Structure 1
Amino acid sequence: MDLNAYRRLLRLHWVAILLLTLLGAAAGAAVAQSQSPVYAAKAQMLVTVSAPGEDSSQAYQGALLSQQRAKSYTTLLTGQSVLRQLTDQLGLPYSVEHMKSHITADNPTDTAVIDVTVRDRSARQAREIAQALGPAFSRIVSSAENSGQQGDGKAPVINVRTLEPVQLLDGPVSPHKDFDILLGLAVGLFLGLVWAVGREVTDTRIRDVQDLEQNTDVDVLGVLPRGGRNRDLEFRTGLPDAPVRAQAFRWLALTTEIPARGAGARAYVVTSPLGGEEPAGVAAGLAIALAESGTRTIVVDAQRSRVQLADLLGLSSPWALTDVLDGRVSLDEALRTWHDDVPLRVLAGRVAEPGADTPPLRQAEVADLRGRLTARADAVVFLAPSVLTRSDATVVARAVGQVILVAEAGVTRVPDFVQSVQRLRSVGVGVLGAVLSGERRRRSRPYVPAVSPPARLNGRDVRREDRGRSHTAEWSPGNGGGPRRASKAEPR
């Protein structure tokens, strides 16, 4: 993973990483808080070997012997005989094993000194044990080492004595609250990163433009931020109030300005792999953006789902697409004008009744309708059912032409999107591009797609070298030549 991959990982999963890190720190603090404080007392003992009338050679041998004895006494000091005598002397309610786990002895290299540390939950108890340990151990050593000697006075005498008064350390030696919190913080951060990497590897949802570009060969036409809280009122008076979202729809309108099949108006099909609310919002926003730029636009609701395009645009109509196809009403009578000052008309859809036998759309009828609509408008937008759940999507796509495939950020999965593209291409339908809708990332400027038509921004042409950049300036169609898509020969 490169630096950009880590940045993306943090951007997508920073909430979970932060939460696990804080939980780790809280767990460390809880563990430290639940532990009783432990105090420590230190004592220092010296092993000496003496012999009457010893010369320098004997003194040297005695020093070596004291060092050897000190090393072996570190084990004897925590032996059962010493600890049992100590507990009996002090009347301690501890077992020998408990005492052994709370007393440590160490012999510094090349010395006859024994450093003893006693730990206990009571500071007074730790000091009393350390004070009693020296005399008790000295008696045991004297009894073991000196009791069997001959009375000639020539044998060396081994003694153990306490060098300095017992020292009680200031404050408890455990728990280490700061260390426990830092350890919990580090463990939580590690678990958060592991979770994020695992999620990144196993999660197949499309969450940003990078997921679309890396996993599909479809051009990204636009990225639409999430809509407002009240989606039912979002498109009733015009494009959304949010500047970035409104500009994103205008960029989408520019990007989709391609020549239609044959002469005349342009026609698009807006659909998605598995449906939802986002395709209707994309179709409504695209139609409004086209109409507000002066393009005579008709939007047709052909999905027959609970998300009604007419409701989204604040219109009501007694007639629907099926009435026009069945000949129960004329096309002009069924079309509804959105606003008098905007050249946008709507052909409403109708929700299929649950359990009702709804006949599928016929390609010849939809193709005929397309011809009649393009004679009345410069751009026609069909909102089709989902590709993977309804056969009507491919029927409408084959009759109309180019398809705009909508992926809902955080919902649509890569396998479903790829399968939708393959299904459309298998019936000879070209996919104009993809629109990522409902992006959760906050952008200060709209995303500029990789495939951009000639447009004017502050008096200059916007070409493919602007891929991935953002602009908030007002746009207007370029002069001459009309919109185009970059050819495959151009570098991406």
Structure 2
Amino acid sequence: MRLIAASRPAAGPGSPGPATRARDGVRAAVDRSRLTVRRWVELTPRQQVRALRRYRWTALVLVLLGGAGGGLAAAAQAPVYRAEARLLCSPNFPTNDVRQLDTGGNYILQRVRSYTEVADSAEVAAAVTARLGLPWSPPELPNRVSVTSRASTAVLTVVVEDGDPERARDIANAVADEIPGYIARIERPTGVDRSPVKVTVVRPAVAPESPDSPRPLTDVGLGLVGGLVVATATALGRYARDPAVRDSRHAAEVADLVLLADTGPVSPVPLSPERMADRADELRQVRTNVRLQAAGGPLTSLAVVAPTAGATAAVTAAHLAVAFAQAGDPVVLVDVDPGRRWAHELFGVGDDAGPATGLVDGSPVRDALVRWRPELPLHVLPAGPAPLGPDRLATLVAELRAEETLVVVVGPPLLSDADTLLLVGATDATVVAARVGSTDADSLATAVQVLRRVPANLLGLVTVGRPG
């Protein structure tokens, strides 16, 4: 314990105290929440659908849990039966005068709402409790009884909820029987032996055949709906918190670059003529877009870079190389990323020799080139076992493009290897590659800012989808 205490740095005069650290932590949490909300609001309908698809299994589990929760809640509830009795309030005086009847009717309509407030009084409750021998005290009975009325009607509805259907019926009928006498007593004017209001039971209560609650199907349905709402919010929230670029349009906005192509879902597996044939239209489009962006300037060498590690740059470079080779242009793809050596895997070629081989032993670099397919003018120069010094990259590129060959070079990730900037400087133009759902948006923006300071001849952005 002494060693731990001794190794802990002492708090100096300028060190933040616990209150300051707590305040900074709260501020950071608030900032993250605001960022998440802003990203959530910015989601397009297409991105929302993509969020649900990405987290579909999580969403499915939450929906099923909601349905199961609704079912368990229904099973845990004791059945409650609902019995109703209805009463009609009418004028209680002998007359054939329509005006008097109309006046009496208006008087009753004004009084009916008051009856709903007093009909479950202690007097009525005591009479019903004594009459039925209920196991509750009179003050407890109003908790199970409610008297309601519809607007502009003279009908009172007595509603009773109880766990026993017969008892619910009996209580409703007993309350309905007691209400007319109670209202007659409180409405009878002093010195008059008859109340101006007559209350009649028009529909006695009957024992309900099924409980009013729980309703398993309804509860399960509500649980499923609630689970769907939670699942949707969870999926959108996770998608909004994801720092990666959401789609090709989002990536282009973050990078502030022209979108050259969106290659869709691809996997870093060995390429084949069949795979490339399926993407013929896509490759033709990216080739056309690159040529349009490079119009007016030389295009004998092309660097493909990605902000962070992965196969994104290598896959993009391979597609570009194949696209130009399919148009009949001689192409050499050079892999100068010895850390991963992607060209070896993508094109299924040997990796015994690399860019540094010829520059070390004096043999021509073209001796190390491997032709990928006889029908395409595409050669591959894998990374090889020996790394290529950054000072020799320009010499290599110059030697390869001397014979009117387009050189496509893929190097290490830009933000983790500064030598990639030398690669950019040794080529005519640069294409930035990003993987949708994987490349960090901030890293992409930072990488483009670095390239603009070089400066690099940025042609645009190519996005790669998630592996299909």
TM-score by length of 1: 0.68
Q: How has the CA–CA distance of structure 1 residues 375 and 32 changed in structure 2, closer, same or farther, with 3 Å as cutoff?
A: same
Match of 2:248 in 1: 209
Residues of 2 paired with 1:6 and 1:88: CA distance? 66
Paired residues of 1:32 and 1:176 also in contact (CA < 8 A): no
Tell me the amino acid that sits aligned with residue 232 of structure 1: V
Residues of 2 paired with 1:188 and 1:313: CA distance? 47
Paired residues of 1:398 and 1:429 also in contact (CA < 8 A): yes
Match of 1:372 in 2: 399
Match of 1:313 in 2: 347
Q: Deviations over 1:75-122 (max 9, x none)?
A: 443234543553454344456666323211135678876431112233
Paired residues of 2:85 and 2:158 also in contact (CA < 8 A): yes
Paired residues of 2:332 and 2:407 also in contact (CA < 8 A): yes
Q: Deviations over 1:11-42 (max 9, x none)?
A: 42343699479559737853774445533222
Matches within 5 A, 1:311-390: 311-327=345-361, 330-350=364-384, 361-363=389-391, 365-376=392-403, 378-390=405-417
Residues of 1 paired with 2:199 and 2:73: CA distance? 39
Tell me the amino acid that sits aligned with residue 382 of structure 1: V
Q: Deviations over 1:406-460 (max 9, x none)?
A: 01011113322121111012112121211111267x9xxxxxxxxxxxxxxxxxx
Percent identical: 26
Match of 2:125 among 69, 80, 83: 83
Please provide the CA RMSD for this pair: 4.5
Is the aligned partner of 1:123 residue 2:185? no
User: 2:423 aligns to what SS in structure 1?
Assistant: helix
Paired residues of 2:71 and 2:216 also in contact (CA < 8 A): no
Is the aligned partner of 1:41 residue 2:83? yes
Paired residues of 2:332 and 2:408 also in contact (CA < 8 A): yes
Match of 1:166 in 2: 205
Paired residues of 2:159 and 2:172 also in contact (CA < 8 A): yes
Match of 1:426 among 453, 458, 461: 453
CA drift of 1:180 comes to 5.5
User: 1:393 aligns to what SS in structure 2?
Assistant: helix
Paired residues of 2:357 and 2:365 also in contact (CA < 8 A): no
Matches within 5 A, 1:183-262: 202-227=241-266, 231-233=268-270, 235=271, 237-238=272-273, 240=275, 243=278, 245-257=279-291
Higher helix share: 2
CA drift of 1:124 comes to 1.6
Q: Deviations over 1:150-178 (max 9, x none)?
A: xxxx6425697645533456654445667
Matches within 5 A, 1:422-461: 422-438=449-465
Match of 1:30 among 67, 71, 74: 71
Q: Deviations over 1:246-303 (max 9, x none)?
A: 432333234334779987x711111101021122122222223322332221111111
CA drift of 1:8 comes to 2.3
Paired residues of 2:341 and 2:384 also in contact (CA < 8 A): no
Match of 1:103 among 114, 120, 145: 145
Report the number of matched residues.
418
Q: Which consecutive residues of structure 1, in runs of 5 or more, have no partner in the other structure? A: 353-357, 443-492
Paired residues of 1:39 and 1:172 also in contact (CA < 8 A): yes
Match of 2:316 among 273, 277, 282: 282
Q: How has the CA–CA distance of structure 1 residues 332 and 134 changed in structure 2, closer, same or farther, with 3 Å as cutoff?
A: closer
Residues of 2 paired with 1:76 and 1:309: CA distance? 88
User: 1:117 aligns to what SS in structure 2?
Assistant: strand
Q: How has the CA–CA distance of structure 1 residues 273 and 351 changed in structure 2, closer, same or farther, with 3 Å as cutoff?
A: farther
Q: Which consecutive residues of structure 2, in runs of 5 or more, have no partner in the other structure? A: 1-38
Residues of 1 paired with 2:407 and 2:104: CA distance? 108
Which range moved further: 195-204 or 304-313?
Answer: 195-204
User: 1:78 aligns to what SS in structure 2?
Assistant: coil
Tell me the amino acid that sits aligned with residue 339 of structure 1: R
Q: How has the CA–CA distance of structure 1 residues 135 and 207 changed in structure 2, closer, same or farther, with 3 Å as cutoff?
A: closer
Residues of 1 paired with 2:349 and 2:63: CA distance? 50
User: 2:413 aligns to what SS in structure 1?
Assistant: coil
